[in-house]
Amino acid sequence: MFLSNFFTTIGMDEQPSYYFFSNYHLVYLLINIIFFILLFKYLKNKPIKLQNKIISIALVLILLLKFAGEALFIYEYYFIDESYSTYPHAFFNINTFFSFQLCGIMNILLPFVIWFNIKPLKDFVFATAILGGLAVIFYPVTVLYGEPFRITFPIIRSSVIHFFLIFIPLFLIYRGDFKLRKANWTKVAIGLLLTAAWAMFGNLFIDQNANNMYLMSNPFNGGPIPVINILGNGYHVLFLAGAVTIGYIIVFQISYLFEPRISKNNYLYKKQL
């Protein structure tokens, strides 16, 4: 009974309206802040090799949790008569191996962009990973739903993944491995447009009932977020475009706060340029 209640997608379709900035949400925010500070303080004074090892373990964990979630969705598709949510899908489905959702795409791209040092993608992937993580922390869809303090595997999966989507890029920026440059905003814009096009491909040709990246219908209608909670389908995309743009601006400002303070006459600074 415990396992069936733990490994389930029941409630995953619910928007976190009831929990939005409630005491439960504030506890969730506080937990993320505490873990961020503790892990950051632990890692920053450790040898580079140990830092890289722990970061790689976290990246592997992101991938494992991503595909463990897909395994749960596949199981429910074949063995649960009435689907608990819209997440279950067949094994031979593109969602098994990739994703049409922004955060799901980052789950896969972030590890490989870091491991293989794919520089052309770093601006888009680092900025979008941070943005996606922050979006879920402040609007905890797939994290806060159902009964209070009822912990399920999908909740743990989403919480851990989105935490590391924020932590890993910011720590690498702090370490001086990478710097988000405002001059490269076009790379971020192009990456986002291509991702949106990919999501629309999924909406129109793979699963016409899908709402990838919330492009087809407004899930926030009637919810707690002002303005978008009264917008009709289609118009809400304009609001999302503006909100995402503001979100990226905030992410760039946050990344600046984490950049190492190196003198412009310092060799490491010149090397980064």
What is the pLDDT of the chain when averaged over all its residues? Answer: 93
> Which structure tokens are listed for 23?
């005491």
Is the distance from CB of 230 to CB of 221 less than 8 angstroms? yes
pLDDT at 112: 98
pLDDT by residue (tens digit) across 83-122?
889 999 999 998 899 999 999 999 999 999 999 999 999 9
| Percent above pLDDT 70 for the chain | 95
Band of pLDDT at residue 268, cut at 50, 70 and 90: very low
Task: Place 233 in a pLDDT band, splitting at 50, 70 and 90.
Answer: very high
In the chain, what are the helix, strand and coil shares in percent, each to the nearest 5? 65, 0, 35
Question: For residue 13, which amino acid is it?
Answer: D
- Please check whether residue 193 lies inside any domain of the structure: yes
Count of positions (residues) in the chain: 273
pLDDT tens digits along 135-194: 999 999 999 998 877 899 999 999 999 999 999 999 999 999 999 999 999 999 999 999
Helix (H/G/I), strand (E/B), else coil: 266: coil
Which residues make Cβ contacts (< 8 Å) with residue 129, sequence separation at least 6?
106, 110, 165, 166, 168, 169
Residue 273 is assigned to a structural domain of this protein:
no
CB 215 within 8 A of CB 203: yes
Distance CA 82, CA 194 (A): 35
What is the pLDDT confidence band of residue 82, given thresholds at 50, 70 and 90? confident
For residue 91, being part of any structural domain is answered with yes
In this prediction, residue 262 carries a pLDDT of: 61
Structural domain including 252 reads 2-268
Answer yes or no: is 223 within a domain. Answer: yes
Is position 71 within any domain?
Answer: yes
Q: What is the count of structural domains for the chain?
A: 1
Kindly compute the dihedral angle of the four CA atoms of residues 272, 35, 67, 89, in this order, to the nearest 10 degrees: -120
> What pLDDT score does 264 carry?
46
pLDDT for position 5: 87
At residue 261 the predicted structure's pLDDT band, cuts being 50, 70 and 90, is confident
- Pick from 178, 204, 198: nearest CA to 125: 178
Please report which confidence band the pLDDT of residue 132 belongs to, taking 50, 70 and 90 as the band edges: very high
Could you say which DSSP state residue 222 is in?
T
Is pLDDT at 1 greater than 90 in this prediction? Answer: no
pLDDT of 238-247, one tens digit each?
Answer: 999 999 999 9
